[in-house]
Amino acid sequence: MKIIKIFSQLLLVVIVSIIGYSIIQKDNPIEVVRGNLSYRPIPFTLEKTDDTICKMLIRSYYGSSQAITKKGDTYFFNDIGCMMIWLEEQPHKESIRLWVYTNDTNRWLNARLAHYTTRDKTVIGYGFGAYEKKNRDSISFEQMRSRMLKGENLLNPKVRKRLLENRY
């Protein structure tokens, strides 16, 4: 009986150690960073940060974006379309700072000042790519937002056909 007693006590120690070690090592992807009151974009780790809407890991800065609420909560997205879906659900849209990673100058830019192409290859496939410099086909932030919310993006087969045939 004494051996069984010691055995169960030993098991308890081993079990608590395994759980304790796992808790210390816990390494879940980041979904939101709180307290960013500078409202500047945060350099996040690729493959360790989740998109808030589609819950996929962000694997590249290209096409990624960030949204910072008035409280300083920072959310990350791997496709600008995801950020538009998230933004639509927020109560005070105007007070939210939006940042996009530009494909031409490779830096973070205020999303409301960026120019958008409609036929880029993006992670989810909405097709909106952010650029700092305006080009012939680019559209403004509000146009991009409107198209995204109306479903006029590359995921819509009819729109896709027209876009790829340069008829949009």
Nearer to another protein by Cβ, of 57 and 164: the residue is 57
Q: How far is the CB of 25 from another protein (least distance, A)?
A: 6
* Lookup result for tokens 């989810």: 124
Residues 12-71 that bind another protein (CB under 8 A): 12, 14-15, 18-19, 22-23, 25-29, 47-48, 50, 55-57
According to CB under 8 A, which one of 40, 71, 121, 162 is a site residue for another protein?
121
Nearer to another protein by Cβ, of 96 and 124: the residue is 124
With CB under 8 A, what is the number of residues at the site for another protein? 28
Q: How far is the CB of 82 from another protein (least distance, A)?
A: 13
Side-chain-side CA neighbours of 7 within 13 Å: the count stands at 4
Q: How far is the CB of 133 from another protein (least distance, A)?
A: 25
Q: Contact positions toward another protein, by CB under 8 A?
A: 1, 4-5, 7-9, 11-12, 14-15, 18-19, 22-23, 25-29, 47-48, 50, 55-57, 121, 123, 125
